[in-house]
């Protein structure tokens, strides 16, 4: 592997600029003549916009324009789209309520923009916004998913009667019913998967710059996928044709899914820049982030599992209500369907599964993919249910899982997914050993003598990542293909630039992607740079989400590397008067195997560009590109076990130990992988113990600041004990599965299983706040 190759714990190249404050974020960019946007947002969850009087604001100092929803609609900027078509069980397409970038007539959630002030400075824009008088007629609102589907509930969209987006099913209902009819035992569970606010460290921001002479736009934006943003802005929002729109996503401070989507603010900035003839900048503040970044999760589910007399699962029935908020965000429709229900088999052999998912509009912030997207909801449900079953059937929870593990691969589940490989016993064993599962009973007794309630909780998760084969997702309704592209440029002096369609917003691509090059060529990573995040530099890309950058993006780089190496070998063979088949690459040199004849990479590169002496017919230059489309999803899986204590006086949870045994396939940089797992686990623990985006019955957000919304802090989480049990992914040449979401997918169930074990009561919703745990302990 070499000191900087695959498997090496290389320190992150990008950290120097991040740690020294030299990162280049959108808000750091200042353009000549730049104006500033401030949005006027609805304070009501549901209201008619009867009029907007901007006359006073327009007279204020520094105000350039006040633009409204009516104008953006009149200018034919397209409504926001949802890019994954879902069909209901009755064959009807999902019901899309129109979502203009600013509301001309009706607002449907607190924070929805109705107008924007463009001014010479941010503060002047903010001052003027207070002088814009918006006349609202309040309408009844509904925030809760159960309340929204009741008859007589306030209706959000004329297109969606009963507030229903879709009623979708998967699996074989007849076979599942038959399994339940014959079951020896049936275990039932109701769970709520709490709504979360993603809270990336950097709030969203955009700068739009329209060049009237060229009729060309440049957009700097906080995006996980700038090419997808350009595609959508061009093809659906009528901003400009693709060649007249450049999208740049420079350093981005975290996304967690929330920066996949194209939001109204970017659209408005582009449109406004053309209208006012100057660059327009918008940087959201934290409150705007809470109100307008797509939220995550928010499911209410009833599930039942059938077991035979040997405790083998024979059937699984699930009914889920998914709260989509007021509008369908870009990929929202796929989250509770193809990213959730297709994972309901978990790590288990389940012959029959049937799931029904009802998507619902409510007067809340739109909900879309958030770290894990659908898979945390599936994993939480299955793993809570397995624990509940173990308690009900009076068997050890680890044993019950073992009894039902899938052990033969490939394995076709009844819900589309075909697992390629894995060793679920290995990760369960590793985790049980790491936490000394066998010694738990003694530790529990010891804790009891000190007045503490100790519990242990297991969670065996599986996820589908590397999203994913274009043909497969296309057949399920996706509007895009999910391949990745790469280009390898060897410069005339032998330095290397890798252009990738993956986007790094904290994942460390600038290091890991270089490690592949170092591994193959034996050059130091300092000789390699990664270029990403600019549609003018990189020809195309699908971006970063679904733990796909290594499995898909890095494989595309590998494919381009192979092409480049093949050409370079021809040049080397020609220069060394050897046969191409005898050339090997080592330590930055092309060698004739078994001899001391060699030519260094820079000399090969120089030869390629001087073109004085190339093999006959060869084109000059040393630059290759590739598109890679995977053949399957990848299936990272593992076991998390958490041991904790509950203080019966306060209901407060304290961690004793948290072990993770993950199977991510090949690791490129174990240190970066550990960082990804740490972050994911903290988000999973955050969901289990602290985080909850709450609305009151009228749709007013209750948690729109960090004073109310509890983000996990360092002292809320334990020190993690991580390990890996590896089966290589057969689906890609590097054997990579992906590691970005696992922690967030598997952690919550481990925590809740441990708390419910500690307190001896099974019914406990997330977040398990001290108050909620205390009330559960003391409930009759």
- Using CB under 8 A, pick the residue from 707, 719, 779, 780 that binds another protein: 707
The least CB distance from residue 758 to another protein, in Å, is 18
Identify which range of 305-313, 541-549, 668-676, 769-777 contacts another protein by CB under 8 A: 769-777
545 in Cβ contact with 257 (< 8 Å): yes
The least CB distance from residue 654 to another protein, in Å, is 13
Interaction of residue 85 with another protein, rule CB under 8 A = no
Identify which range of 96-104, 141-149, 163-171, 686-694 contacts another protein by CB under 8 A: 686-694
Question: What are phi and psi for residue 16, nearest 5 degrees?
Answer: -60, -45
How far is 57 from 559, CA to CA, in rounded Å? 57
Interaction of residue 710 with another protein, rule CB under 8 A = yes
The least CB distance from residue 686 to another protein, in Å, is 10
- Using CB under 8 A, pick the residue from 9, 708, 760, 763 that binds another protein: 708
Identify which range of 340-348, 409-417, 459-467, 684-692 contacts another protein by CB under 8 A: 684-692
Considering all CA atoms of the chain, what is the largest pairwise distance in Å, rounded to the nearest integer? 88
Interaction of residue 61 with another protein, rule CB under 8 A = no
- Using CB under 8 A, pick the residue from 92, 123, 595, 610 that binds another protein: 123
Identify which range of 334-342, 366-374, 418-426, 765-773 contacts another protein by CB under 8 A: 765-773
Helix residue ranges, H only, 75-166: 122-131, 145-148
662 in Cβ contact with 721 (< 8 Å): no
**Collapsing DSSP states into helix, strand and coil, what is residue 630?**
coil
Interaction of residue 133 with another protein, rule CB under 8 A = no
Q: What angle do CA 322, 324, 326 make, to 5 degrees?
A: 145
Interaction of residue 298 with another protein, rule CB under 8 A = no
Give the contacts of 365 (CB within 8 A, at least 6 positions apart): 109, 110, 111, 291, 292, 293, 294, 295, 325, 326, 693, 701
Number of residues binding to another protein, judged by CB under 8 A: 26
Interaction of residue 690 with another protein, rule CB under 8 A = yes
Q: Are strands 205-211 and 47-53 parallel, antiparallel or unpaired?
A: unpaired
Interaction of residue 700 with another protein, rule CB under 8 A = no
Q: Which residues pair with 622 in a beta bridge?
A: none
- Using CB under 8 A, pick the residue from 227, 274, 692, 737 that binds another protein: 692
Interaction of residue 392 with another protein, rule CB under 8 A = no
Question: What are phi and psi for residue 684, nearest 5 degrees?
Answer: -65, -40
Per-residue string for binding with another protein, 563-602, x by CB under 8 A? ----------------------------------------
Residue 161 is given by DSSP the state G
Per-residue string for binding with another protein, 607-646, x by CB under 8 A? ----------------------------------------
- Using CB under 8 A, pick the residue from 55, 702, 760, 763 that binds another protein: 702
- Using CB under 8 A, pick the residue from 706, 760, 761, 763 that binds another protein: 706
The least CB distance from residue 714 to another protein, in Å, is 10
561 in Cβ contact with 492 (< 8 Å): no
Identify which range of 64-72, 177-185, 609-617, 709-717 contacts another protein by CB under 8 A: 709-717
Question: What are phi and psi for residue 670, nearest 5 degrees?
Answer: -55, -35
117 in Cβ contact with 40 (< 8 Å): yes
How far is 370 from 255, CA to CA, in rounded Å? 9
Cα torsion 629, 87, 292, 103 to 10°: value is: 120
Per-residue string for binding with another protein, 711-730, x by CB under 8 A? x-x-----------------
The least CB distance from residue 384 to another protein, in Å, is 22
Cα torsion 338, 341, 345, 346 to 10°: value is: 80
- Using CB under 8 A, pick the residue from 241, 277, 649, 760 that binds another protein: 649
Interaction of residue 127 with another protein, rule CB under 8 A = yes
CA distances from 576 to 86, 424, 562, 598, 610 (A): 59, 51, 20, 7, 17
Interaction of residue 654 with another protein, rule CB under 8 A = no
Burial 145-158 (b: 16+ CB within 10 A, else e): beebbeeebbbbbe
Identify which range of 18-26, 318-326, 662-670, 770-778 contacts another protein by CB under 8 A: 770-778
Identify which range of 428-436, 467-475, 505-513, 767-775 contacts another protein by CB under 8 A: 767-775
Closest of 360, 402, 353 to residue 378, by C-alpha: 353
Closer CB to another protein, 122 or 312, in the complex:
122
Crossing angle for the helix pair 742-759 and 770-778, nearest 10 degrees? 30
Interaction of residue 650 with another protein, rule CB under 8 A = yes
Q: Are strands 280-283 and 35-41 parallel, antiparallel or unpaired?
A: parallel
The least CB distance from residue 769 to another protein, in Å, is 6
Interaction of residue 451 with another protein, rule CB under 8 A = no
Q: What angle do CA 72, 78, 81 make, to 5 degrees?
A: 130
Interaction of residue 769 with another protein, rule CB under 8 A = yes
Interface residues with another protein (CB under 8 A)? 123, 126-127, 130, 649-652, 689-690, 692, 694, 702-703, 706-711, 713, 769-771, 774-775
């Amino acid at each position: 592997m070499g000191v900087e190759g695959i498997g090496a714990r290389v320190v992150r190249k990008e950290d120097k600029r991040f740690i020294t404050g030299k990162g280049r974020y959108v808000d750091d960019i200042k353009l000549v003549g730049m104006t500033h946007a401030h949005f006027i947002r609805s304070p009501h969850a549901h209201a008619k916009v009867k009029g907007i009087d901007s006359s006073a604001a327009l007279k204020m100092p520094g105000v350039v324009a006040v633009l409204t929803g009516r104008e953006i609609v009149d200018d034919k900027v397209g409504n926001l789209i949802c890019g994954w078509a879902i069909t209901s069980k009755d064959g009807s397409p999902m019901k899309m309520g129109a979502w203009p970038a600013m509301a001309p007539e009706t607002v449907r959630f607190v924070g929805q923009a109705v107008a924007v002030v463009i001014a010479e400075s941010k503060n002047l824009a903010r001052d003027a916004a207070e002088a814009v008088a918006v006349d609202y007629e309040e309408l009844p609102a509904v925030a809760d998913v159960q309340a929204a589907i009741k008859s007589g509930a306030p209706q959000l969209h004329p297109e969606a009667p009963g507030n229903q987006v879709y009623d979708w099913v998967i699996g074989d209902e007849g076979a599942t019913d038959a399994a339940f009819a014959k079951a020896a035992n049936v275990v039932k569970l109701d769970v709520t998967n709490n709504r979360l606010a993603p809270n990336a460290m950097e709030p969203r921001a955009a700068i739009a710059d329209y060049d009237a002479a060229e009729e060309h736009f440049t957009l700097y934006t906080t995006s996980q996928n700038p090419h997808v943003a350009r595609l959508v802005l061009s093809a659906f929002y009528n901003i400009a044709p693709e060649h007249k729109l450049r999208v740049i996503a420079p350093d981005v401070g975290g996304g967690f899914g929330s920066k996949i989507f194209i939001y109204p603010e970017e659209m408005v900035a582009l449109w406004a820049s053309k209208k006012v003839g100057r660059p327009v900048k918008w940087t959201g503040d934290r409150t705007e982030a809470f109100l307008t970044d797509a939220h995550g999760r928010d499911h209410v589910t009833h599930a039942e599992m059938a077991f035979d007399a040997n405790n083998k699962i024979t059937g699984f029935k699930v009914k889920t209500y998914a709260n989509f908020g007021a509008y369908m965000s870009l990929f929202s429709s796929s989250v509770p369907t193809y990213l959730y229900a297709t994972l309901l088999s978990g790590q288990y052999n389940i012959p029959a599964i049937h799931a029904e998912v009802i998507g619902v509009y409510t007067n809340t912030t739109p909900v879309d993919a958030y770290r894990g997207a659908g898979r945390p909801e599936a994993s939480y449900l299955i793993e809570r249910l397995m624990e509940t079953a173990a308690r009900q059937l009076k068997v050890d929870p680890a044993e019950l899982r073992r009894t039902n593990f899938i052990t033969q691969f490939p394995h076709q589940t009844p819900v589309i997914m075909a697992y390629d490989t894995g060793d679920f016993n290995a990760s369960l064993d590793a985790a049980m050993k790491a936490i000394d599962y066998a010694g738990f009973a003694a530790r529990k007794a010891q804790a009891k003598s000190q007045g503490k309630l100790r519990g242990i909780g297991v969670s065996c998760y599986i996820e589908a990542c590397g999203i994913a084969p274009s043909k497969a997702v296309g057949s399920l309704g996706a509007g895009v293909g999910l391949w990745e592209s790469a280009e390898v440029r060897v410069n005339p002096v032998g330095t290397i630039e890798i252009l990738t369609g993956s986007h790094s917003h904290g994942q460390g691509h600038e290091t890991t992607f270089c490690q592949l090059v170092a591994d193959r060529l034996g050059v130091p990573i300092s000789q390699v740079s990664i270029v990403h995040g600019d549609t003018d530099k990189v020809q195309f890309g699908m971006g970063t989400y679904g733990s796909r950058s290594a499995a898909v993006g890095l494989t595309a780089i590998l494919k381009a590397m192979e092409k480049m190496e093949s050409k370079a070998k021809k040049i080397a063979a020609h220069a060394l008067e050897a046969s191409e088949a005898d050339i090997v690459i080592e330590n930055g040199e092309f060698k004739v195997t078994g001899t001391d004849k060699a030519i260094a990479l820079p000399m090969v590169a120089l030869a390629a560009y001087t073109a004085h002496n190339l093999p006959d017919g060869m084109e000059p230059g040393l630059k290759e590109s590739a598109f890679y489309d995977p053949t399957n999803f990848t299936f990272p899986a593992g076991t998390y076990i958490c041991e904790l204590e509950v203080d019966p006086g306060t209901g407060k949870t304290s961690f004793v130990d948290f072990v993770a045994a993950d199977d991510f396939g090949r690791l490129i940089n174990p240190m970066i992988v550990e960082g990804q797992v740490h972050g994911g686990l903290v988000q999973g623990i955050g969901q289990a113990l602290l985080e909850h985006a709450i609305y009151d019955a009228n749709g007013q957000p209750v948690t729109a600041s960090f004073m109310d919304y509890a983000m996990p802090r360092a002292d809320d989480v334990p020190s993690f004990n991580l390990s890996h049990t590896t089966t290589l992914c057969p689906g890609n040449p590097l054997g990579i599965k992906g590691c970005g979401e696992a922690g967030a997918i598997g952690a919550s169930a481990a925590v809740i299983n441990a708390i419910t074990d500690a307190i001896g009561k099974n019914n406990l919703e997330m977040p398990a706040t001290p108050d909620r745990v205390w009330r559960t302990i003391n409930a009759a």
